[in-house]
């Protein structure tokens, strides 16, 4: 977790950083504003009347995306862990399970997510099998879960592999079964280590919920599309982008905080145990 730093110390470094930033972004702003098509772009992308008119409808539709990614994330964290554990099972008898888990991750990481959404959202209901739902929201959740679980299982697996074998050996030597060693010793350490990459995938999932609009779910992107085509104006997309930014940035900070808290707890001094708080700040420091 590299922290954003000025890259030096003292007032001089601060001043140089400030001037360089102003010049850099000023130059970009100057180029954009003086571009030949700027006036038209400004009218179509930064129409504040349209922005405020479309914003409430867009924000309201975001509820669909939130439901999509919350339901899918719970399923992903579960299925991803299951697949990761299956891939790590020992012994020749369980080879078919390992094969299945490996084939699954290979396939669903290879196929573009949008294609999975299309195939499941249009194809499966098209079979008209009795009892199979044809709700695009349902198939959207299924498709996102299948695609993201494949990635997340690899994240979990990397975490499991990062726990030194001596940990499992110590657990087994105390009489814990293989499953208990995994459950109480290996997985808790593995999961703690992969929280940042898991959050990374969670943010990716949040953004990919807009793909579900292609099979007919009216969510935030579809809503902004509707607004946009009614007014020939792209400002609703800007509002949509802003909603995602406002969601993901706090999430990234929360992860940083979770990681710092975990480190703080593990390396806390015994003074902490008697009630005094340790200094958390140093763990947020560069490279920490």
Partner 1 sequence: MTTVSAPTLRIEALHKSFGDLEVLKGIDLAVAEHEVVCLIGASGSGKSTLLRCINLLEPIDDGRIFVAGEEITAHGVDVDRIRRHIGIVFQAFNLFPHMSVLDNVTLAPRRVLRTDRPAAEERATALLERFGLADKRLDYPDRLSGGQQQRVAIVRALAMEPRLLLLDEVTSALDPELIAEVLAVIRELAGEGMTMVIATHEMGFARDIANRVVFLDEGRVLEDGPPDRMFREPAEARTREFLQRIIEAGRL
For residues 15 to 54, the per-residue mask of contacts with partner 1, x marking binding by CB under 8 A and - elsewhere, is ----------------------------------------
Nearer Cβ to partner 1, position 193 or 227? 193
Residue 171 touches partner 1, criterion: CB under 8 A: yes
User: For residue 177, what is the DSSP state?
Assistant: -
Please state, in angstroms and as integers, the Cα–Cα distance from residue 7 to each residue in 1, 22, 195, 285, 287, following that order. 16, 16, 27, 13, 13
Residue 288 touches partner 1, criterion: CB under 8 A: no
Distance CA 57, CA 35 (A): 32
- Give which of 275, 271, 255, 251 is closest to 263, Cα–Cα: 255
Q: Output the smallest distance, CB 198 to partner 1, in A.
A: 17
Q: Angle CA(135)–CA(138)–CA(141) in degrees, nearest 5?
A: 150
Q: Is 183 exposed, middle or buried (0-12, 13-18, 19+ CB in 10 A)?
A: middle
Nearer Cβ to partner 1, position 67 or 192? 192
For residues 184 to 223, the per-residue mask of contacts with partner 1, x marking binding by CB under 8 A and - elsewhere, is xx--xx--x-------------------------------
For partner 1, which stretch binds (CB under 8 A), given 53-61, 164-172, 196-204, 216-224? 164-172
Torsion sign over Cα 21, 23, 24, 29:
positive
Distance CA 33, CA 37 (A): 9
Q: Output the smallest distance, CB 8 to partner 1, in A.
A: 33
Residue 273 touches partner 1, criterion: CB under 8 A: yes
Nearer Cβ to partner 1, position 253 or 272? 272
For partner 1, which stretch binds (CB under 8 A), given 47-55, 96-104, 181-189, 221-229? 181-189
Distance CA 69, CA 141 (A): 8
Residue 265 touches partner 1, criterion: CB under 8 A: yes
Would you say 139 and 120 are in contact if contact means Cβ atoms under 8 Å apart? yes
Residue 162 touches partner 1, criterion: CB under 8 A: no
User: For residue 210, what is the DSSP state?
Assistant: G
Q: Helix, strand or coil for residue 132?
A: coil
Distance CA 48, CA 188 (A): 49
Nearer Cβ to partner 1, position 10 or 175? 175
Q: Helix, strand or coil for residue 141?
A: helix
Judged by CB under 8 A, which of 169, 245, 246, 251 binds partner 1? 169
For partner 1, which stretch binds (CB under 8 A), given 40-48, 115-123, 232-240, 262-270? 262-270
Binding site for partner 1 (CB under 8 A): 166-167, 169-177, 180, 184-185, 188-189, 192, 265-270, 273
């Amino acid at each position: 977790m590299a922290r954003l730093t000025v890259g030096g110390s003292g007032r001089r470094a601060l001043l140089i950083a400030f001037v360089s930033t102003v010049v850099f972004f000023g130059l970009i702003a100057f180029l954009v504003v003086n571009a030949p098509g700027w006036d038209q772009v400004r009218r179509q992308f930064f129409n504040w009347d349209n922005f405020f008119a479309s914003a409430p409808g867009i924000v309201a539709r975001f509820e669909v995306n939130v439901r999509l990614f919350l339901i899918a994330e719970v399923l992903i964290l579960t299925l991803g862990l299951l697949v990761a554990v299956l891939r790590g099972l020992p012994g020749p008898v369980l080879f078919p399970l390992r094969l299945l888990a490996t084939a699954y991750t290979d396939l669903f990481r290879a196929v573009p997510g949008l294609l999975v959404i299309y195939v499941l959202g249009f194809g499966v209901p098209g079979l008209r099998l009795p009892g199979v739902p044809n709700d695009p929201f349902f198939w959207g959740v299924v498709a996102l879960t299948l695609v993201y679980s494949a990635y997340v299982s690899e994240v979990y697996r990397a975490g499991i592999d990062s726990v030194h074998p001596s940990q499992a050996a110590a657990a087994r030597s105390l009489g814990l079964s293989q499953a208990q060693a995994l459950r109480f010793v290996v997985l808790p350490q593995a999961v703690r280590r992969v929280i940042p990459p898991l959050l990374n995938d969670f943010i990716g999932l949040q953004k990919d919920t807009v793909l579900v609009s292609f099979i007919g779910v009216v969510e935030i992107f579809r809503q902004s599309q509707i607004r946009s085509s009614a007014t020939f104006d792209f400002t609703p997309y800007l509002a949509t982008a802003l909603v995602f930014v406002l969601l993901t940035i706090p999430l990234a900070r929360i992860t940083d905080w979770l990681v710092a808290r975990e480190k703080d707890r593990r390396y806390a001094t015994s003074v902490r145990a008697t009630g005094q708080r340790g200094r958390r700040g140093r763990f947020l420091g560069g490279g920490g």
